[in-house]
Amino acid sequence: MRIPPGSTIGIIGGGQLGRMLAGAAAELGYKCHVLAPDADPPAADVAAHCTRADYADCDALGRFADAVDVATYEFENLPADALARLGAKLRPGVASLEIAQDRAVEKDFIERTGGRVARWARVDSDDDARAAEAALGLPLVLKGRRLGYDGKGQAWAREAGSAVAAWNAIGREPAVAEAGIAFEAEFSIILARAADGATAVWDVPLNLHAEGILRRSQLPAPALVEAQADEAIATATALAAALGHVGVLTVEFFACADGPIVNEIAPRVHNSGHWTIEGAVTSQFEQHIRAICGLPLGSTRRIAPAVTMDNLIGDDVLGWEKIAADPEAKLHLYGKGAPRPGRKMGHVTRLG
């Protein structure tokens, strides 16, 4: 079903991804209505309407559903059962949410769909942690099954007998244990899928992290990543099809000597795709709007021989004046107020 310009798009979540989605929607002639519990969500600055309510408030969700023509979400830590009341208006649907919200469910799904993940095991007890260490070896990383992002909710076991301590460090919540893997690089496949199954994929960025947070995405990627791109794209395409996903889907990979291994799925626009705003004919944000509204997908062609996107984390943003004075830099600030350590305050993109 095509949602024509002039219609209202609901965005569940009020952060920077919602802000950039609303900006892209406005350029195509749509209005946006943000739903978020925050007092002053950044996305509300550029939206026509904002409902401030808890994501699990079914009455508020019902009113929100009545007020919009189509709805989407900007992050995945949301109550899927409550969002299900949006029905067919929600794109992507709750299936993509439910898979991405639980690392164990996600890994099962990836393997069933033919993708490869690091060797892993569920951990729900001290005995499970010990068994995982015995079966998978060391080093081993324990990750909470739900609500983790930017390296949060993770702890490493590197010494014999330390798996239980690692599980304690993440709060003894239901977890997965993953065998440490040797990888040469990290990269992501950013894919858009339309309701009719048509797909479009951007060039593959190399992703550089520090302390679990993405610091830089750059193109072109090194030769090893480029050599593994086709296999990774095939995996991401299969995952999107199995989900019946509509919109942008991001799959993060490790480039290993024997081929790409999936790290995790994000059923949405993604930090590693911010370079597409200036670096591609169609940004990931515009493409997501096109997909959920039933418009034809745009070209993903890269328009510069090289593109670098750097996140502004915490106090990095205090250098905004210097960045703004650089004629080769494109500065994006998210309107988040005071910086905090580890908080994504903006990003800067450079072409060429």
pLDDT band at 110 (very low <50, low <70, confident <90, very high): very high
- Please report, in angstroms and rounded to a whole number, the separation of the first and last CA atoms in the chain: 39
Residues forming beta bridges with residue 34, ordered by sequence position: 11, 50
- Pick from 13, 73, 76, 10: nearest CA to 266: 76
Asked whether the beta carbons of 297 and 290 are under 8 A apart, the reply is: yes
pLDDT band at 147 (very low <50, low <70, confident <90, very high): confident
DSSP string, 86-138: GGGGBSS-HHHHHHHH-HHHHHHHHHHTT--B--EEEESSHHHHHHHHHHH-S
119-179 CATH, one of 3.30.1490.20, 3.20.20.70, 3.30.1780.10, 3.50.50.60: 3.30.1490.20
pLDDT at 21: 98
Average pLDDT over residues 214-232: 98
8-90 CATH, one of 3.40.50.10490, 3.90.1300.10, 3.40.50.20, 3.40.50.2300: 3.40.50.20
Distance CA 290, CA 282 (A): 10
Please, what is the average pLDDT of the chain?
97
The domain locations on the chain are 8-90, 119-179, 185-351
Under DSSP, the state recorded for 114 is T
- Pick from 36, 43, 32: nearest CA to 78: 36
pLDDT band at 149 (very low <50, low <70, confident <90, very high): low
pLDDT band at 153 (very low <50, low <70, confident <90, very high): confident
Residue with tokens 């590693």: 272
Asked whether the beta carbons of 328 and 348 are under 8 A apart, the reply is: no
pLDDT at 29: 98
In this structure, what token pair is assigned to residue 155?
A: 């702890």
Residue 148 predicted with pLDDT over 80: no
pLDDT at 352: 87
Round the CA-based radius of gyration of the chain to a whole number and report it: 20
Residue with tokens 């096109």: 290
- pLDDT > 70: percent of the chain: 99
The CA distances from residue 44 to 28, 190, 248, 343, in Å, are 18, 26, 22, 19
CATH T-level topology, domain 185-351? D-amino Acid Aminotransferase; Chain A, domain 1 (3.30.470)
Pairing of strands 247-256, 185-193: antiparallel
- The whole-model pTM stands at 0.96
Average pLDDT over residues 1-12: 97
pLDDT band at 26 (very low <50, low <70, confident <90, very high): very high
